[in-house]
């Protein structure tokens, strides 16, 4: 039991080498009484850590679902099964894509309202003074168009970034650049291959710069 605890502690701090076989001798004592005295019979045996390492750092490593207990500060209770399920759903690519879609739609509505106030609306008869109904209809059309475009871009970019991050297993700026290139390329392909390449490069540079400024700076 003591050796098992030591192995667990050292493996948790990554102090055990992976490709080194360690040998440890155990001894067991059997007390027998001989001529009124106690004598110890030692039985030595050799233990190889190759089997243990497979379960610690090898392909048969057992993952830990529960967080490690807190030894300092305010103790926090272990999350329940429902909390773990909610956290798993919130970390899924589908949930992240849906959140980005909703956020993109909201940003598109605001941006459409702003452009409607800056640009001059296009009416059927420019010489005629538009009514309130026509103005509201044009505003609604402009906001809906921008909301759909930004929602599609946000959902597509978030899904690509989450998929790339899951595949690579690393969260860095390369994920943003790759996701931006794929998203910009898909959007630009509607105008041709050249537009898709330039759109992917531009979107990759923009997304990488935004990610660096807000997160990795």
75 close to 35: Cβ distance less than 8 angstroms:
no
- Do 22 and 89 belong together in one domain? no
Give tens-digit pLDDT for 190-217. Answer: 888 999 999 999 999 999 999 888 877 7
100 close to 160: Cβ distance less than 8 angstroms:
no
Distance CA 137, CA 53 (A): 69
- Do 160 and 206 belong together in one domain? no
- Do 161 and 178 belong together in one domain? no
- Asked if residue 43 is part of any domain, the answer here is yes
- Asked if residue 74 is part of any domain, the answer here is no
- Do 90 and 154 belong together in one domain? yes
Average pLDDT along the chain: 76
Query: Is 179 or 72 the better-scoring residue by pLDDT?
Result: 179
Range of the domain at 205: 170-217
- Do 149 and 214 belong together in one domain? no
pLDDT above 80 for 23: no
Q: What is the tally of structural domains in the chain?
A: 3
- Do 94 and 152 belong together in one domain? yes
- Asked if residue 201 is part of any domain, the answer here is yes
């Amino acid at each position: 039991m003591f050796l098992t605890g030591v192995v667990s502690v050292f493996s948790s701090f990554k102090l055990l080498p992976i490709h080194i076989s360690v040998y440890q001798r155990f001894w067991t004592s059997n007390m027998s009484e001989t001529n009124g005295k106690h004598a110890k019979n030692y039985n030595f045996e050799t233990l190889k850590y190759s089997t243990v390492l497979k379960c610690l750092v090898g392909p048969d490593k057992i993952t830990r679902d529960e967080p490690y207990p807190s030894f300092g500060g305010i103790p926090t209770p272990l999350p329940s099964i429902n909390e773990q399920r909610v956290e798993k759903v919130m970390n899924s690519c589908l949930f992240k894509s849906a959140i980005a879609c909703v956020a993109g739609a909201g940003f598109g509505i605001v941006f459409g309202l702003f452009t409607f106030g800056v640009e001059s609306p296009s009416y059927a008869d420019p010489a005629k003074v538009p009514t309130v109904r026509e103005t509201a209809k044009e505003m609604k059309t402009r906001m809906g168009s921008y909301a759909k475009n930004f929602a599609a871009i946000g959902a597509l970019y978030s899904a690509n970034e989450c998929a790339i991050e899951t595949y690579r297993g690393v969260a860095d700026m390369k994920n943003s650049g790759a996701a931006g290139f794929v998203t910009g390329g898909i959007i630009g392909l509607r105008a041709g291959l050249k537009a898709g390449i330039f759109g992917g490069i531009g979107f990759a540079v923009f997304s990488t710069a935004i990610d660096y400024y807000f997160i990795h700076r």
